[in-house]
Structure 1
Amino acid sequence: MTESYVIGVDFGTESGRVLLVDVKTGQEIATHVTPYDNGVMDHSLPDGTLLGKDWALQDPNDYLQVLYRSIPEVLRSSSIRPEHIIGIGIDFTSSTILPLDQEGQPLCFNPKWKSNPHSWVKLWKHHAAQEEADIFTRVATDSGEGFIKRYGGKVSSEWLFPKAYQIMRESPEIYEATDLFIEACDWITYQLTNKLIRSSNTCEYKAFWSHDTGYPDSSFLRKIDQRLEAFLDTKMRGRVQPIGEKAGELSNKMAQRLGLLPGTAVAVGIIDAHASVPAVGAVNPGQMVMALGTSTCHMVTTDQEKVIEGICGLVKDGIIPGYYSYETGQVAVGDAFAWYVEHSTPEYITQEAKKKGNTTHELLEKKAAIYKPGESGILALDWWNGNRSVLVDANLTGMIIGLTISTKPEEIYRALLESTAFGTRKIIENFADAGIEVNEIFAAGGLPQRNKLLMQIYADVTNREIKIADSQQTTALGAAMYASVAAGKANGGYDNLIEAAKHMSRVKEVSYVPIPENVETYHEMYKLYLELHDYFGRERKDIMHTLKNHKVHLVGSIV
């Protein structure tokens, strides 16, 4: 194989990062991160227009700036010549959707629409379409639609159809002005290649599409709303193409802007967390990958197709060609820890961290690590932004039980860490109950790299060894691997993803192994977690739903 490199572009929740990788070895040559200038807009638009409850928007111009700033920078810092770069791969948060005009540009770029929140990008964690999601779930269930089984029997507010339907219902003028609804990853490949291609990965996991049957019949959409009958023909145009293939080639205009050569292969886009699966080499049945960040996505590859409660998607060839891939997840993990640190940590902890040269997270981790499992007497539910799996209910909220006047901040912090591990154990057991074995667990993302206590807790709670990705940019590495396959062996890449994983995947030699006495204590605590989980998530979920509604009304009256 001649000297060849690929670029992986990872579009996260707060920033985008570009990684330049050696195709032969997976060595990470250079990386650069571009923070989003407007970040996550969950209170107001840049012009001050207020947003409603559970909104989460982004500015698509921030995505372009990642390309414009970070790709030239990795080229400059690495001194790699453009002719040696054989491909570009894109991964993206999902379902993150844009409404486009007839020129393929986001409606929010148009001054006519920029003050309308519905013209902007709806980020994956935009949960304001819960009512629309519930409608889709009810109609699909009542109509006996087969596709609903692939999603555990429920439609998530995070997905494309509920978000588009919310626009139709709340802003018909934006809906009419929209020529296409598109996933952000597909929009980026569109910008790079001038070819409109939709990723099979995002379409199957987030838009009810199947490689066997396509989208649901228009008669189903008509049952939802008569105005949706022509939705697929008018606003969902574009050929769906399998992941691992080439979406197109870099256009002359973008090549000049980025400092690359025209004709460079651009891979079909993929969901960000999914890209971490080949990056850690988890290409065989029974291997689970946890992509831990602001949220957590759990992915399991198997050779079996089974209906499982609360999964986010079951897709053949969804991540690793030739296998079925299941996705589940937790909506708030890093977000929950950040909430506590930013809004609920006492000032004396912040000041102590500064004096010791630590971040607040680092200090709380050190203090929390002194405690043994159960010593604080605190238990939490991990639903600070709703529940994705297995309950699929965005209106569930967080809970901490066992607080006393002697409770310390680090005890609460540890309880929050433990709650996310309990949520992951529930997901693993849900798979096991359905006959899907999880034999090996890998952790990827920023949290496993930074928080050793968190990973030990996960090992103890699940009673399983946790292997850690040996990369700070695992999803970008995975995107680069898909780029190596899109480029093809004849151009210095690989024939397939499994072959690419043999050479490019990376896992640390040191792993986290369960501590027997901790396993025993956590097993008892987990029983209590399950009681809270089922009571507040199934039997009396109306308690949390009602409280959340009261909170919304109060905030609205104050505004």
Structure 2
Amino acid sequence: LGDLVEGNHAKIGRSVAFPGHPLGSGLTATAAKELGLRPGIPVGTSLIDAHAGGVGVMESVPDAESKADTSDESDEQAICHRMVLVCGTSTCHMAVSKNKLFIPGVWGPFWSAMVPEFWLTEGGQSATGALLDYIVENHVAAPLLANHAASQRISIYELLNKILFSMAHEQNISFISSLTQDIHVLPDFHGNRSPLADPKSKGIICGFTLDTSEKHLALLYLATIQGIAYGTRHIVEHCNAHGHKIDTLLACGGLAKNSLYIQEHADITGCPIILPRENESVLLGAAVLGAVAAKKFPGVRDAMKALNAAGKVVYPSSDPRVKKYHDAKYQIFRSLYEQQLSHRSAMAQALQ
């Protein structure tokens, strides 16, 4: 990256503007004409989509919790206990801290890159929604399942959730997660971004049979959700081991609309998950930046507190059997990567 500093940083410039900072004289006449807007409308420094999602959701805490954090000190501490999951094709895991925390395998720290006056730490999973699509669409039962879902006017994922709850009822089991006791998934089908930072990591499915039914697809779908959630648990534990104090998750994006996906994440991480009242958190984050640029609020945090709002809170199961089950599966999840490293080493030696 040495070329970026050549010519007095000519390629990237030397002027740095923080998120929401008003730029120039607002919207230019040319841009206003193309957009059908008025010239001079305030334009704020933007953020990438995931970071805008963080701005749109990170202060979405229940009223009781927000009122409890009355002092500036407790307010600054409270936000540092949260991690935002922007869940879509991939998932970004974002947390902030007052101290500069360097965490192996996790991006950052970045100063004021999302929330002003805080260091941003960003982990991630390269394929989450994309992985679920891949698993479902490549199963032999997918076309039939898609037809059934269409006839019921629901999504294929809503139908899969219904099938799983029906299976749990038929088998008289106490919690739905235990349906996957024989199926384990390492979700690194597109490498591991965090916390292992291993682009060579591969996905693993342990527990295949000759079953090609819709029920088998439902089990594979659930095991994949769990594998993704174990990955999030790994990221949270890794960040906390290096200075963070994360105990609450906030989720937005398409996958956050899947109740089973969110409940499994709550049960597996042991963290309550707050879902924002506004589904389009990325757009809300962009609106926050615009409002600050227009001087409707004195700063980004003020706008976040005014415009972010909590919706539903999903809590981890209080059943100790659920925790025991996921603790066991999590250890298997971690071992799958270690086995992969062993296999990789053995084959590399064989080819020498």
After TM superposition, the score normalised by the length of structure 1 is: 0.53
1:454 to 231, 252, 261: 261
Offset from partner CA, 1:118-142 (integer Å, 9 cap, x none): xxxxxxxxxxxxxxxxxxxxxxxxx
| Equivalent residue letter for 1:240 | V
Change (3 A) 1:229 1:257: closer
2:150: which partner in 1? 354
1:296: which partner in 2? 91
CA contact (8 A) 1:330 1:388 kept: yes
Shift of 1:400: 0.6
Offset from partner CA, 1:189-233 (integer Å, 9 cap, x none): xxxxxxxxxxxxxxxxxxxxxxxxxxxxx3xx6xxxxxx884874
Shift of 1:281: 3.7
Unaligned runs of 5+ in 2: 60-75, 169-175
- Give the alignment of 1:103-502 within 5 angstroms: 218=2, 230=6, 233=9, 235-237=11-13, 239-248=15-24, 249-282=26-59, 284-346=79-141, 347-369=143-165, 370-371=167-168, 372-376=176-180, 377-406=182-211, 408-449=216-257, 451-488=258-295, 493-502=296-305
The 3-state SS of whatever aligns with 2:311 is: coil
CA contact (8 A) 2:90 2:128 kept: yes
| Equivalent residue letter for 1:365 | N
Offset from partner CA, 1:431-475 (integer Å, 9 cap, x none): 1211311022111111112x1100110011011111112222111
The 3-state SS of whatever aligns with 2:268 is: helix
Tell me how far apart the structure 2 counterparts of residues 541 and 239 of structure 1 sit (CA, whole Å): 46
Tell me how far apart the structure 2 counterparts of residues 374 and 366 of structure 1 sit (CA, whole Å): 16
The 3-state SS of whatever aligns with 2:136 is: helix
Offset from partner CA, 1:482-536 (integer Å, 9 cap, x none): 1111121xxxx11111111121002204434334232221111001101112332
Tell me how far apart the structure 2 counterparts of residues 392 and 501 of structure 1 sit (CA, whole Å): 32
CA contact (8 A) 1:465 1:514 kept: no
- Give the alignment of 1:4-43 within 5 angstroms: none
The 3-state SS of whatever aligns with 2:16 is: strand
| Equivalent residue letter for 1:400 | I
Shift of 1:545: 9.8
| Equivalent residue letter for 2:251 | A
Task: Kindly report the root-mean-square deviation, in angstroms, between the aligned alpha carbons of the 2 structures.
Answer: 2.4
CA contact (8 A) 2:85 2:94 kept: yes
CA contact (8 A) 1:395 1:545 kept: no
Tell me how far apart the structure 1 counterparts of residues 135 and 82 of structure 2 sit (CA, whole Å): 32
Shift of 1:245: 0.8
The 3-state SS of whatever aligns with 2:205 is: strand
Say how many residue pairs are matched: 316
Q: Does 1:535 align with 2:331?
A: no
The 3-state SS of whatever aligns with 1:326 is: strand
| Equivalent residue letter for 1:352 | H
Shift of 1:304: 2.0
Shift of 1:323: 1.4
Change (3 A) 1:235 1:344: farther
CA contact (8 A) 1:275 1:479 kept: yes
Q: Which runs of 4+ in 1 moved over 4 A?
A: 228-234, 538-546
Unaligned runs of 5+ in 1: 1-160, 162-217, 222-227, 547-559
Tell me how far apart the structure 2 counterparts of residues 385 and 420 of structure 1 sit (CA, whole Å): 12
Q: Identical aligned pairs, as a percentage?
A: 29
| Equivalent residue letter for 2:302 | E
Shift of 1:362: 1.8
1:523: which partner in 2? 327
CA contact (8 A) 1:455 1:512 kept: no
CA contact (8 A) 2:20 2:300 kept: yes
Q: Kindly indicate which of the two structures has a greater share of residues assigned to helix.
A: 2
Change (3 A) 1:349 1:277: same
Shift of 1:540: 4.4
Q: Kindly indicate which of the two structures has a greater share of residues assigned to strand.
A: 1
CA contact (8 A) 2:266 2:314 kept: no
Tell me how far apart the structure 2 counterparts of residues 505 and 399 of structure 1 sit (CA, whole Å): 38
The 3-state SS of whatever aligns with 1:374 is: helix
Change (3 A) 1:271 1:251: same
Shift of 1:406: 3.6
Change (3 A) 1:231 1:375: farther
Shift of 1:357: 2.6
Tell me how far apart the structure 2 counterparts of residues 324 and 304 of structure 1 sit (CA, whole Å): 7
Tell me how far apart the structure 2 counterparts of residues 320 and 541 of structure 1 sit (CA, whole Å): 41
CA contact (8 A) 1:292 1:443 kept: yes
CA contact (8 A) 2:163 2:218 kept: yes
| Equivalent residue letter for 2:335 | E
Tell me how far apart the structure 2 counterparts of residues 310 and 543 of structure 1 sit (CA, whole Å): 24
| Equivalent residue letter for 1:481 | V
Tell me how far apart the structure 2 counterparts of residues 446 and 422 of structure 1 sit (CA, whole Å): 19
CA contact (8 A) 2:204 2:336 kept: no
Tell me how far apart the structure 1 counterparts of residues 246 and 15 of structure 2 sit (CA, whole Å): 34
